[in-house]
Amino acid sequence: MSDNPQKNVIFNAITVPLGDELTWRWDDKLSMLLTEFSWEKTERILIVLRQLFSEEWSHKNIKKSPKAIKAELGELTKLTKEQLIFTRPATVDTPAIALFWWPWGHGATYSIRIRILHTNYNDADLQQAQTGPITKFFQRFTSR
């Protein structure tokens, strides 16, 4: 995996539940842990990911993600229809984590990349990000 033992402990919290049929390697270009696999494994892997991560972002809802996530991930938040980003906030034991689910164009191969986030978010950030513009307007108006 990576050359950092602390990172390996954090990554293992994700990779171990996904099973030993996936082969992981370090992607120096993006500084992320990477695996690639065939489409037959997607259903089982998605079930595990949805248990491990509290948030799932798609092209339909990524705009409602917390500002901290959008700011740190930048261009990576420009998702196609099939791409997903799973996130979970920091805990006492681990920093915030993002996982990128990317189907390849031909549909037979998928890749997953895992990244430790430098910023964090919490339930208040999630609620604020998902509040519509009209509600935000009235919240500002009534808080005066």
Closest C-alpha among 102, 128, 130 to residue 115: 102
Query: Cβ distance 15 to 50 under 8 Å?
Result: no
Distance CA 142, CA 144 (A): 5
84 burial class (0-12, 13-18, 19+ CB within 10 angstroms)? buried
Alpha-helix runs per DSSP H in the chain:
5-18, 42-52, 67-73, 123-130, 133-142
Report the alpha-carbon angle 30-33-39, nearest 5: 105
pLDDT, position 39: 94
pLDDT, position 92: 85
Distances (CA, A) of 4 to 13, 33, 78: 15, 12, 29
pLDDT, position 135: 53
Q: How far is Cα of residue 116 from the mean position of the Cα atoms in its chain?
A: 9
Low-confidence ranges of the chain (pLDDT < 50): 136-137, 139
pLDDT, position 107: 79
- Structure tokens that stand for 32 in this block: 């992320």
pLDDT, position 91: 85
pLDDT, position 41: 95
Position 55, amino acid: E
Distance CA 21, CA 23 (A): 7
Per domain, the residue ranges of the chain are 5-142
pLDDT, position 136: 46
